[in-house]
């Protein structure tokens, strides 16, 4: 099998951490290739909440997910990375001074080192039991854009951050928004919960959506509250924000030490395998905090240490980017 791409560093995962790692690898003078199973750059941000305001990125009091990804892509472009999108890494084998990763399209990428920035891995949304057959007919799992919901009656099912974020952002756009959750307690950040409670969003707890009705497209839903008779809500758009199931997929078969679906790393961000590093939400170590800001720092640490694995004469610390 012919090797499609040769690179100094192969990055698996094109979310924020992977994009920043691509930039930083270019800063270190490394040739970069990036693989992602999604068809677009940006990882979960692009797929799930491009319109969400992100508040914990240094230097930005608030930045939309879409704008953050756009800036990271522009920054990464200085490294001229070779992108392999809509492809999944399947196999890993080690050579004497390199690794080779096989992709699901039959191609291979050979690199001096591998950096895994795959977030939570490949993710799929948890299904809504009553929603079978309604996907694309009024029911969706994500809200990549708010405009399609303008003037509609929207029902959001869930009690996590995504459910409350979407409720808050859709309230001024939609005709009405109702949030249905099976418990009284919520997993969402308290500040967002308070903001939704102060809005016009109707919050229905101890409840489940038990039926979706309509002809070609959704028109109304039945909501059953514990101890009460079912009620009918007008609904032309339902968002099933029930979370998702994460799967590390083939990575688990590579012999990497994994703990609770996360890749275990040391201080240099190296995994249990030689020439294989990891950064971002996928990593696990004592005191780990899963924030985008943390992922950026881990990416720089991983790239600097990978540079030495690729070229033993290199230094871990490359100097500051502001130095002439």
51, 165 Cβ separation under 8 angstroms: no
49 annotated to a ligand binding site: yes
198 is in an annotated binding site: no
Is 281 part of any known ligand binding site? yes
162 is known to lie in a ligand binding site: no
Q: Concatenate the DSSP letters of all residues of 109-144 into one string.
A: EEEEEEEE--TT-EEEEPPPGGGTT-BTTTEES--S
Distance, CA of 290 to CA of 246 (rounded, Å) = 15
Are 152 and 128 a contacting pair, CB within 8 Å? no
Element (H, E) at 26: helix 16-27
For every residue of 69-110, DSSP letters joined together read HHHHHHHHGGG--EEEES--EEEEEE-SS-EEEEETTS-EEE
What crossing angle do the helices spanning 292-310 and 16-27 adopt, rounded to 10°? 40
- 67: annotated binding-site residue? no
Side-chain half-sphere of 186: how many Cα atoms within 13 Å?
Answer: 25
Asked if 86 and 247 touch (Cβ cutoff 8 Å), the reply is: no
CA 24/CA 18 separation, integer angstroms: 10
Closest CA relative to residue 177, chosen from 160, 156, 192? 156
DSSP symbol at 250: G
Q: Is 322 annotated as a binding residue?
A: yes
| 153 known member of a binding site | no
Question: Is 44 annotated for ligand binding?
Answer: yes
Q: Which residues are annotated as a binding site for FAD?
A: 17, 36, 44, 49, 89, 123, 281, 322
Q: Which residues are annotated as a binding site?
A: 17, 36, 44, 49, 89, 123, 281, 322
């Amino acid at each position: 099998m012919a090797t499609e791409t040769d690179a100094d560093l192969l990055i698996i995962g094109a979310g924020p951490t992977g994009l920043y790692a691509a930039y930083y690898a270019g800063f270190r003078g490394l040739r970069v290739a990036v693989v992602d199973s999604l068809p677009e750059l940006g990882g979960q941000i692009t797929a799930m909440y491009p319109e969400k305001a992100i508040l914990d990125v240094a230097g930005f009091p608030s930045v939309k997910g879409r704008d953050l990804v756009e800036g990271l892509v522009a920054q990464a472009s200085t490294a001229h990375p070779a992108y392999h999108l809509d492809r999944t890494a399947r196999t890993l084998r080690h050579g004497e001074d390199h690794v080779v990763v096989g992709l699901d399209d039959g191609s291979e990428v050979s690199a001096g080192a591998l950096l895994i920035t795959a977030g939570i891995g490949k993710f799929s949304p948890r299904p809504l039991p009553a929603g079978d057959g309604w996907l694309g007919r009024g029911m969706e799992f994500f809200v990549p854009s708010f405009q399609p919901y303008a003037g509609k009656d929207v029902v959001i099912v869930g009690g996590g951050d995504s459910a409350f974020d979407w409720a808050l952002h859709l309230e001024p756009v939609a005709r009405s928004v109702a949030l249905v959750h099976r418990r009284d307690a919520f997993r969402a950040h308290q500040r967002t919960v308070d903001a939704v409670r102060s809005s016009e969003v109707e919050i229905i707890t101890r409840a489940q959506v038990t039926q979706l009705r309509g002809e070609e497209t959704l028109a109304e839903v039945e909501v059953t509250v514990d101890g009460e008779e079912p009620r009918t809500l007008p609904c032309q758009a339902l968002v099933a924000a029930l979370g998702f199931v994460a799967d590390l997929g083939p990575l688990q078969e590579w012999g990497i030490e994994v703990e609770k679906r996360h890749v275990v790393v040391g201080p240099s961000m190296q995994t249990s395998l030689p020439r294989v590093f990891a950064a971002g939400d996928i990593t696990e170590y004592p005191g780990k905090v899963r924030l985008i800001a943390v992922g950026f720092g881990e990416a720089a640490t991983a790239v600097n240490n990978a540079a030495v694995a690729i070229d033993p004469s290199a230094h871990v610390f490359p100097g500051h980017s502001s130095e002439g």
